[in-house]
Amino acid sequence: MLNRYSLSFRSPRHIHCSLAALIALGLAALSGCGDAASDAPFDTVFNPCEPLAIVAQAGTRPEQLESLDAAIAMWNQAAGLKLVRDGADIEAQIPVYFEDGAPFMHGFYSQDLGTVTVNQKLNARERTITAAHELGHAFGLHHIDAAARPSIMNHGNLSREISAEDVEMLHSLWPQCQPSEDTPNA
CATH number at residue 45: 3.40.390.10
Q: Is residue 4 part of a domain?
A: no
Q: How many structural domains is the chain composed of?
A: 1
Task: Specify the DSSP class assigned to residue 17.
Answer: -
Among candidates 4, 1, 86, which has minimal Cα distance to 45?
Answer: 4
Q: Is residue 145 part of a domain?
A: yes
Q: Is residue 6 part of a domain?
A: no
State residue 178's pLDDT score.
79
Q: Is residue 185 part of a domain?
A: no
pTM above 0.95, yes or no: no
Domain membership of residue 147 as a residue range: 12-174
CA atoms of 130 and 116, how far apart (whole Å): 10
State residue 42's pLDDT score.
84
DSSP percent split of the chain into helix, strand, coil, nearest 5: 30, 15, 55
CA atoms of 180 and 109, how far apart (whole Å): 30
What are 56-90's pLDDT values in tens digits?
Answer: 999 999 999 999 999 999 999 999 999 999 988 99
Q: Is residue 1 part of a domain?
A: no
What are 119-174's pLDDT values in tens digits?
Answer: 999 999 999 999 999 999 999 999 999 999 999 999 999 999 999 999 999 999 99
